Amino acid sequence: MSKAERLFALVTLLRGRRTAVTALELARALHVSERTIYRDIAALVGSGIPLEGEAGVGYRLAAHSHLPPLMFDPEEAIAIAVGLRLVRAATDPELGLAAERAERRVRAVLTDAIKQRLDWLPYRIPVLERHAALRARHAQVRRAAAEKWKLAISYADEAGRPSERTIWPLALMGWGDRWTVLAWCESRQAYRNFRLDRIGELERLDEPFETSETLSIAHYFKTELGIDDIF
């Protein structure tokens, strides 16, 4: 990666974050040393990029700063288009409509040559009517996880044994054509995974839940899987 490409990637990383990012995090993301990050930060500030922060604390774009819109190369545009179409097919109707709007906005800033490549994409990802109930359930879980509301669910395990659970939905994890709800189960007092297609009745309770350092999706990945949180 050239210095110009690295500086562009650094600005892109900072644009995507609301809070300060440490030099160590930036170095790991770009596969360079912290010393290189400090030099790059100085170069960006010297070129007029409005950055805030300091060594040991972290860096971020200054509040209310405005940078020109990003452009996409052909492979990036294809990746975004395929991803948005997967969202339409594999998540819920509300997100599907948002994906359609997002694709129109992305296409609006593309060159004609890249638009033509998107028109010739070999991918076909249909939205199937038989998945409508599952997609509606996906929307309920997604909103509950985002707003931190408990859910009461009926669930059948792999052997078909039914149970009633109250869960704290922490995240939805995609496994190709299936989704798993990563949750804290009140009856088991432990983290549990629930396949979305095995959830029967589902009700959002008027009971919020609070995550903490010892009960969260990041804690789940660290303690159950031995890895840092993934996106």
Of 18-22, 149-153, 155-159, 196-200, the range with the lowest mean pLDDT is 18-22
Name the residue type at position 91: T
Which whole number is the average pLDDT over 11-23? Answer: 82
Flag whether pLDDT at 192 surpasses 90: yes
Q: For position 66, what pLDDT does the model report?
A: 60
Mean pLDDT over each residue of the chain, to the nearest integer: 88
Query: Distance between CA atoms of 51 and 171, rounded to whole angstroms?
Result: 32
pLDDT > 90: what percent of the chain? 47
Q: Which helix (H) or strand (E) holds 191?
A: strand 190-195
Q: For position 123, what pLDDT does the model report?
A: 86
- Region of 215 (left: φ > 0; alpha: ψ -120 to 50; beta: rest) is beta
Residue-wise pLDDT tens digits, 68-104: 556 678 898 899 999 999 999 999 999 999 999 888 8
What length does the chain have?
231
Pick from 194, 96, 90: which is nearest to 151 by CA? Answer: 194
Query: Distance between CA atoms of 73 and 17, rounded to whole angstroms?
Result: 22
Q: For position 56, what pLDDT does the model report?
A: 76
Confidence of residue 10 (pLDDT cuts 50, 70, 90): confident
Pick from 176, 186, 167, 170: which is nearest to 223 by CA? Answer: 170
Q: For position 70, what pLDDT does the model report?
A: 62
Q: For position 154, what pLDDT does the model report?
A: 97
Strand duo 190-195 + 199-208: pairing: unpaired
Q: What is the pTM of this model?
A: 0.69
Flag whether pLDDT at 19 surpasses 90: no
Q: For position 18, what pLDDT does the model report?
A: 74
Query: Distance between CA atoms of 181 and 140, rounded to whole angstroms?
Result: 11
Angle at the Cα of 50 from the Cα atoms of 46 and 55, rounded to 5 degrees: 75
